[in-house]
Amino acid sequence: MKSIMALLKAMLSSFRDLLPIIFVISFFQLVVLQQPLPQWGPILLGLIFVVMGLTFFIFGLEMGLFPIGESMAHAFAKKGSLAWLLVFAFCLGFGTTIAEPALTAVATEAAEVAAEGGMIENNQEAQLEYASGLRLTVAFSVGLAIMLGVIRILKGWPIQWMIVGGYLLVMVMTWFAPPSIIGIAYDSGGVTTSTITVPLVTALGVGLASSIKGRNPMIDGFGLIAFASLTPMIFVMGYGMVLS
């Protein structure tokens, strides 16, 4: 009975989170456009599915991804093997990023646009090669980013200087990168930090900072996502320079 009540409360919370976007869509559809919403049935059914999906996703994070990420971070800290910790950090960043649906969608769309614009051959093989290269580049960059973030936690380096330096590098590379790749590079920094990457990477950082004496989880445990958003922009612009 307690589990059912907790599930219903979580669904109600998910519905409250969706209320702003429901209000925005309804307002512009009914007041600004002055048109009724088409197909009420499918829309309501879809809304129910979204509420249920958000609810089960949050439950999954709390029950599975966050605990396993933190427990593995604690285990690696106790093991005391820096090499294995860095290998795990790279594999975690690479594996979660390559599985991101948002990255797959952006890479596929970028390949289609590149083919239509004459940047690559307009056939399925060339588009697949371009999209795969883009995904692997982004995944590799995120793997390195998580490794760098883990080293920062271990050493206690201030994150602000590393992030500022990284964005200065992005600004410099923007001047030299092909214009056709700049927008894709910037978008790649956003799509990497999505439903799969964020929970596991955040749990890794917090768990690792909690396991190391002298580290504050609030100060040192967060920031890995910032690295995961920054490095794809650098690597994708580099990828564009190589292709050009």
Q: What is the DSSP string of 25-87?
A: HHHIIIIIS--PPS-HHHHHHHHHHHHHHHHHHHHHIIIIIHHHHHHHHHHHHHHT-HHHHHH
The proportion of the chain whose per-residue pLDDT surpasses 70, expressed as a percent, equals 94
Given pLDDT bands bounded at 50, 70 and 90, which one contains residue 1?
A: low
Q: What is the DSSP string of 171-184?
A: HHHHHHS-HHHHHH
pLDDT at 197: 77
pLDDT in tens, 182-216: 888 898 888 877 767 787 788 888 888 888 777 88
Q: Which of residues 40 and 45 earns the better pLDDT score?
A: 45
Q: Is residue 122 part of a domain?
A: yes
- How many structural domains is the chain composed of? 2
In this predicted model, what pLDDT tens digit does every residue of 4-43 receive, in sequence order?
A: 777 778 788 888 888 888 888 888 887 877 777 777 778 8
Q: What is the mean pLDDT of residues 120-142?
A: 87
Residues 115 and 202 in one domain: yes
Same domain for 229 and 157: yes
| Domain enclosing residue 96, as ranges | 81-243
Q: Are residues 49 and 158 in the same domain?
A: no
pLDDT of residue 140: 93
pLDDT band at 168 (very low <50, low <70, confident <90, very high): very high
pLDDT at 65 (0 to 100): 67
**Domain-embedded: residue 69:** no
Is residue 64 pLDDT above 70, yes or no? Answer: no
